[in-house]
Amino acid sequence: MSIVLERFEAKAGWPVLREGWASRFSPGDLELLDTAVDFAVRWHADQVRPAGEPYVEHLLEVVRVLVETLGIVDVDVLRAAVLHDVVEDTACSPEAVRIGFGDRVAELVEWVTKPEPAEGQSPAEAREAYLSRLQSAPTDALVVKLADRLSNVQRLDSHPRPDKRGSYYRETARTIVPLAQGHPWFRQWYASWLETFAHLADGAPHR
């Protein structure tokens, strides 16, 4: 039987998601999320994802996963999800996140932010060190990372670089899938994902 992989989209934007989640959150919590979304949109500006979609769609997909599959309503975790790439992929500083959103949000964002290579360290070594460090991440940071990678790989065949499809599949299978084992929903989703994209395991094109 073929696997139907559950995918998450956010093309409709934050106002539609916000309206759909109005019964899940207090008005005050929705306003806190509004502020985080506005902050992320300002910093990511006109950035796009590799397949060309606006960057904010990725951020909102991550939040959708956490809210709609794990039932997370912890606003700090959700704000960290919205802001998870703002330090890594824009000129925003960690201190700006801390000032704007508090210590806990800033610490969660730090956990999922890949640092610049240290002196004498190659980009590949820095990436491996970052991925290895995730093994000791607190649960709240880990679920943000699992949802982040889910958004990144759920449509992996649409990535414009065929070589990246294979390498990203193998990296995810090696480093991210093991992190999902303690989280039943993520464990099942990534198992389905591994099967759906198994043709990428050896870098072969999809036939």
Indicate the burial class of 94 (C-beta count within 10 angstroms; 0-12, 13-18, 19 or more). Answer: middle
Of 6, 88, 128, 171, the catalytic one is 88
Q: How far apart are CA 195 and CA 112, in angstroms?
A: 26
Packing angle, helices 103-111 and 94-101, rounded to 10 = 140
Per the annotation, the verdict on 61 as an active-site residue is: no
Of 29, 53, 89, 107, the catalytic one is 89
**Listed residue (3, 1, 5) closest to 189, CA to CA:** 5
Give residue 173's Cα distance to chain centre.
16
Per the annotation, the verdict on 171 as an active-site residue is: no
- Write out 8-19 in H/E/C secondary structure: CCCCCCHHHHHH
Residues designated as active site: 88-89
